[in-house]
Chains A and B, each alone.
Chain A
Amino acid sequence: MTDMTSSVQSTFSRPAQATRDIGIKRRYAAERRFRAYGVAAILIGLFFLFVLLWTVVSKGYTAFQQTAITLPIEFSEKIIDPKNERAQNPGKLMTANYPLLVRDALVKALAIDPANKPLVKQATDMVSASARTQLRDIVVANPAVIGTTVNVSLLAEGNIDSANKGQIDLTVAEANRKVKDQQLEWMKTLSGTGAMAKQFNTGLFTYGASSRPEAAGIGVAALGSLYMMLIVLALALPIGVAASIYLEEFAPKNRLTDLIEVNINNLAAVPSIVYGLLGLSIFINFAGMPRSAALVGGLVLTLMTLPTIIIATRAALKAVPPSIRAAALGLGASKMQTIFHHVLPLAMPGVLTGTIIGLAHALGETAPLLLIGMVAFVVDYPGTPMDPSTALPVQIYMWANEAERAFVERTSGAIMVLLIFLVVMNLGAILLRRRFERRW
């Protein structure tokens, strides 16, 4: 009892200037530590973002250039059409021995003994095998070229291209190297005369799949992606908007609509690969649609994008103030007229923003497309969405599995193209939101 009183007294009788020890120093140190963790976390995130982008760009920027060898090709009639039967049989021009033209031109340009077969082989290996189709196309398009000599710019083979870009480690023993010393020697000669030079790689944007990196491009895949994006846009936007209008404006509030709400939120978080299984089972096996078709890919991506669009559209509809609805209804507009004349136009910027973001996701999506057979080796442009086609991210996936250095470069290049598309779409969404979003 006495102790207590005295201790209480002592607490209160403490001199005013003496501060209590509340551990200020320790607590501020803890405060600083805590803050530092936060800064560190953000820096870690940004660091990885930087490393990721840097990896892609540093590996990929060279893909936009391609080494080409310009040779004077003699379109010798003796080789192309020795029996002069092209007038009767135009198919002859399709099957002529065009690589021989390249060989002859190389032998001449590099002054090789034509009898030295291994040496000639090494020389012809420097030119892409796609030279055959390139020369064939020239001749078929203009048979008059036969008998003349024309300078033709041929693609260099992938490893030569890599070597020309300085990407091949020359300290490795020659036997373990894809590019031989003799070839390096010739490269110097050709570069010296200006016959070999790097040029902008238009092929990357126009070619289709190829097992030879120098003749592989994303053009065909990009067209497949374009088809799918158009299908997604044409289906997901109207269906998503219609569904949102029903759910937001008409549906009675009850257990069923609650269930639909939960269902849509869940669909937005279902793993994308599950949509691929759905597409395979329903569209391909049950409905009998063709495998590898952009149509099926578009449908699958539509189902995947719908929840995103519905969620965004409902939020945008909800943000339109009730006073606008009351004003229109008060004038005698029907509910449908109120929504389509006033509410929906006001919600449109939000709807479009959500749609663009959904489309961007769909554009980068790979997994479901693998399951519906879009991992296909597609060389020709698909004429319709029913034709076999592939998609940009799937092309990236297929190239990522190739070992050659030139494919790594192209993979990164394709990723850069994909990321540029995504950045443009997202910027568009941001600008749209800034420009048109109305604050009530």
Chain B
Amino acid sequence: MNMMSEAAVEKALDQKMNTVPFKMIGKDVSVYYGEKRALFDVNLNVRENTVTALIGPSGCGKSTFLRTLNRMNDTIDSCRVTGKITLDDGDIYDPSIDVVELRARVGMVFQKPNPFPKSIYENVTYGPKIHGLARTKAELDQIVESSLQKAGLWNEVKDRLHESGTGLSGGQQQRLCIARAVAVSPEVILMDEPCSALDPIATAKVEELIHELRTNFTIVIVTHSMQQAARVSQRTAMFHLGNLVEENDTDKMFTNPDDQRTQDYIMGRFG
């Protein structure tokens, strides 16, 4: 009975999805690497406090799109982005925008866990320190604890905060990276296949975490696993050859997609 009602609540929530406001809006986004065009006029909107999954076969441009959302593509010399992406109605490619400020608002978690070879404590406090989020040691301690709590890692590491972050297991490292991103209190967290380097048990924990983080953050996740997309997301966008094929509620996407190519991909006909 209880179970039923919870599922019902979820369903109701998901059906209301169309009324959730947009956090980020991508309009006619194209990306070029030198001469090569990697994305073709993508129009994709990200809803607030929602997990949006980007799926598609490898090389389809889903990671490229993700990286345009916090301008990580800027680090590649030959990369050029056209179109418009807004965050709360502000154009993030506007010359007046400081990319550092943007990335403090739109955090990122990478495919392979990449903790700094420093202590767990320093890993978490690095972001708050450079952004001036804490004035005292007590405030920093507070941030470390709450971030690690949110990442579900606190109980495992609270006794060894000053040991190296690289000494943790793969799954713990990835959750540390999530805690590190959370510590900056971003509004959006981008995740680029965060579980691809993890074993199934660690994956389950990270997925559970993503689910919980949704209440505080807007999450965009790239995944190559359709099951994962189905498990963690409310909205799903399907990319193919640099085009956005379809964007829809996750339920609908996996049961009754609008586009033939989506259906083929989900059925495993290509990819």
Contacts and interface: CB of A to CB of B under 8 A. Distances in A.
B138 interface: no
A438 B77 CA distance: 28
Given A337-B130, A341-B126, A332 B100 contact: yes
Given A329-B75, A332-B184, A323 B126 contact: no
Nearest to B78: A253
B107 A331 contact: yes
Given A252-B77, A326-B110, A341-B126, A332 B103 contact: yes
B130 to A, nearest CB: 6
B35 to A, nearest CB: 16
Interface in A333-352: 333-335, 337, 341-342, 346
Contacts of B108: 326, 330-331
A425 interface: no
A382 B75 CA distance: 51
A328 B180 CA distance: 10
A332 B103 CA distance: 4
B181 interface: yes
A341 B125 CA distance: 13
Sorting the interface of chain B by its residue count into under 10, 10 to 19, 20 to 34 or 35 or more gives 20 to 34
A324 interface: yes
Contacts of A321: 114
B85 interface: no
Given A323-B112, A331-B103, A332-B101, A438 B117 contact: yes
- Interface on chain A toward B: helix, strand, loop, or mixed SS? helix
B181 A330 contact: yes
A325 interface: yes
Contacts of B70: 330
B112 A329 contact: no
Contact of B127 (A252, A324, A331, A342): A331
Contact of A332 (B77, B115, B117, B130): B130
B20 interface: no
Contacts, number: 66
Identify which of B72, B115, B130 gathers the most chain A CB atoms within 10 Å of its CB.
B130
A431 interface: no
Contacts of A327: 110, 114-116, 177, 180
Contact of B114 (A324, A334, A438): A324
Given A253-B77, A337-B130, A330 B117 contact: no
Given A327-B110, A330-B103, A346 B127 contact: no
Given A252-B77, A337-B130, A341-B126, A329 B116 contact: no
A408 to B, nearest CB: 53
A329 B104 contact: no
B82 to A, nearest CB: 21
Nearest to A327: B114
Interface in A46-70: none
Contacts of B131: 332
Nearest to A252: B77
Contacts of B72: 326, 329-330
Interface in A305-329: 321, 323-329
Given A253-B77, A346-B117, A330 B110 contact: yes
A326 B71 CA distance: 12
B77 A330 contact: no
Nearest to A438: B117
Interface centre among A321, A333, A346 (most CB of B within 10 A): A333
Interface in B94-135: 100-104, 107-110, 112, 114-117, 126-127, 130-131
Contacts of B177: 327
A341 B104 CA distance: 17
Contacts of A334: 100
A332 B70 CA distance: 9
A434 B131 CA distance: 36
B117 A325 contact: no
User: Which of B100, B109, B180 has its CB near the most chain A CB atoms (within 10 A)?
Assistant: B100
Contacts of A331: 103-104, 107-108, 126-127, 130, 180-181, 184
A254 to B, nearest CB: 10
A124 B166 CA distance: 75
Contacts of A341: 126, 130
Contacts of B103: 329-332
Interface string B214-231: 000000000000000000
A333 B180 CA distance: 13
Contacts of B181: 330-331
Given A252-B77, A327-B114, A330-B109, 5 more contacts: A326-B72, A327-B115, A329-B103, A330-B110, A332-B102
15 contacts: A253-B77, A321-B114, A323-B110, A326-B110, A327-B114, A327-B177, A329-B103, A330-B70, A330-B72, A331-B108, A331-B130, A332-B101, A332-B103, A333-B130, A341-B130
